[in-house]
Structure 1
């Protein structure tokens, strides 16, 4: 589920609300549902910084999307955490897909220009590390952040409608102190003739849960995604508490859905084991078909998530 904020909020809600605490049992299964995940208190955090010029683009790590941009304007200096997409140490595959730039709300350029590029920088650092820790490290001549990969797409010789590049980096075994399954053991989905119907039903149910503001149903839908992100990332307790304090009511806040997507398509990732829906309309191209706002916050929010079918089941679940 790429809507990182939703997951962090949901995590804070379940850790803090009395109703979650009241439901806790002694069994391991019930503890997991109640939010008692094995959170990392410290460790290595991998991050990707990205920028671009004159293009739309997708960045994938191990065939899972971590950045998708089909909007207007340019973006630079934005970062995304990578730990939850690193399922095991060793070589990590990065794919950059470039598309023509969006010129107006309903218009894309026909081709990529020669000036188009995407630049990424992947770093790792120890967490948690306060500003004082960083200053002390610098004062003692010690590093607190290490560059892992820097890559910029080559200059185009001629305008093209689409181009993709691949690169990679290596993660040391000592830097991975988490164990998550992700989509590695999930069933293949891209040859299932009944998949579209099941995906549509899942999206309709997800929309209904948010429209009704049903906190418990929402948490059950995103539980696995929350657990795996929490298990793979070192958490700063102050940040966690602040998220909980500021956004504890998010999951219970009723949402109105806007910008109906008249044409949504299945898109596969994770070597065919993960699926999502994306809009093919020019206005909302590349976005999830669920876009909402609330009475308190009129800024539209795109609800992007990724589904898989775990081994041993025939039911779709949110994995990211």
Structure 2
């Protein structure tokens, strides 16, 4: 479901990228970056201390996800991987270590090259054999990326790990319940207001124009319509910190959001990441 959540966040790009007309100059500047993970084990991947994917499914997987919204500015970026044992094992075996590959791809001509899968491999990472059985393996790498934008940074937000955890948890859960009520009523105006900063940052990182933003709003409106009266109670969650403690969210044991609607046809998940921009400020959605 974590992958589906990111597809929702990037929906206007994935759904509409072939429909808008771009000039040659615009296309050249609209570079898309992805992380491809090939693994025979469950894993977690992070870019710049923000979760990209939590894949706890058994068996081999081959996943490629856009990372533009987690690249805040040009320069050094951090990639982290947590490799976990397969079901029934207590440690990560050598086969799992050898099989894991992480690749950063660049799509030089934006939408058109992404659709046509015309990419350039710019980085590839492998795990070193630790020569010992381990219950999990964590590794990080630093790499350089150039982007033509600068996104709102949470580096100067409040370190939420230093706050009273009980009070913080209550504030986070209250925020989730407030958003749940908005979704349950299908209050599109209030929903878009809460998501305004997040959406604008994601749109900027994906170079979305007015037409694509409008189509994304239509997609959101459709999801909200299907979610009316179907939001499930917020439960079975853990508080999780990302972005060096400056981002907080709720997740269940599978790494999935506890905020979702469910009807007879589908599950509609709403993942949010909150930050406190300055002391005593209310929490805000940042991703």
Q: TM-score range by the shorter chain?
A: 0.7 to 0.9
> Cα–Cα, structure 1 residues 158 and 177, in superposed 2: closer, same or farther, change >3 Å?
same
> 1:88 maps to what in 2?
73
Contact 2:276 2:282 in 1 (8 A): yes
> 2:55 maps to what in 1?
69
> Cα–Cα, structure 1 residues 157 and 260, in superposed 2: closer, same or farther, change >3 Å?
farther
Q: Distance in 1 between matches of 2:179 and 2:124?
A: 38
More displaced 10-residue stretch of structure 1: 154-163 or 264-273:
154-163
Q: Distance in 1 between matches of 2:126 and 2:233?
A: 34
Q: Distance in 1 between matches of 2:168 and 2:178?
A: 15
Show CA shifts across 1:87-146 (max 9, x none): 222211111112223x3xxxx643323322432110112233536x979xxxxxxxx633
Q: Distance in 2 between matches of 1:245 and 1:195?
A: 34
Show CA shifts across 1:269-291 (max 9, x none): 111111111213xxxx2222224
> 2:284 maps to what in 1?
317
> 2:17 maps to what in 1?
none
Q: Return the match for 1:184 from 128, 137, 155.
A: 155
Q: Distance in 2 between matches of 1:245 and 1:229?
A: 16
Contact 1:225 1:318 in 2 (8 A): yes
Question: Where in structure 1 are there 5+ consecutive unaligned residues?
Answer: 12-39, 136-143
Bigger radius of gyration among the two: 1
> Cα–Cα, structure 1 residues 241 and 221, in superposed 2: closer, same or farther, change >3 Å?
closer
- 1:225 positional shift: 0.9
Contact 2:188 2:221 in 1 (8 A): no
Is 1:153 the counterpart of 2:127? The answer is yes
Contact 1:9 1:244 in 2 (8 A): no
Q: Which structure features the higher share of helix residues? A: 2
- 1:211 positional shift: 1.9
> 1:226 maps to what in 2?
199
Question: Where in structure 2 are there 5+ consecutive unaligned residues?
Answer: 14-25
Q: Return the match for 2:6 from 4, 7, 15.
A: 4
Q: Distance in 1 between matches of 2:171 and 2:255?
A: 21
In the TM superposition, 1:96-115 aligns within 5 A as 96-101=81-86, 103=87, 109-115=89-95
Q: Distance in 2 between matches of 1:79 and 1:43?
A: 18
> 2:16 maps to what in 1?
none
The alignment's TM-score, normalised by the length of structure 1, stands at: 0.72
Q: Return the match for 1:49 from 32, 36, 59.
A: 36
Contact 2:251 2:257 in 1 (8 A): yes
The alignment's TM-score, normalised by the length of structure 2, stands at: 0.79
> Cα–Cα, structure 1 residues 303 and 159, in superposed 2: closer, same or farther, change >3 Å?
farther
Q: CA RMSD in A?
A: 3.2
Q: Distance in 2 between matches of 1:244 and 1:192?
A: 35
In the TM superposition, 1:198-237 aligns within 5 A as 198-235=171-208
How many residues are matched? Answer: 267
- 1:178 positional shift: 0.9
With CA pairs under 8 Å and 6+ residues apart, which has the higher RCO, 1 or 2?
Answer: 1
> 1:30 maps to what in 2?
none
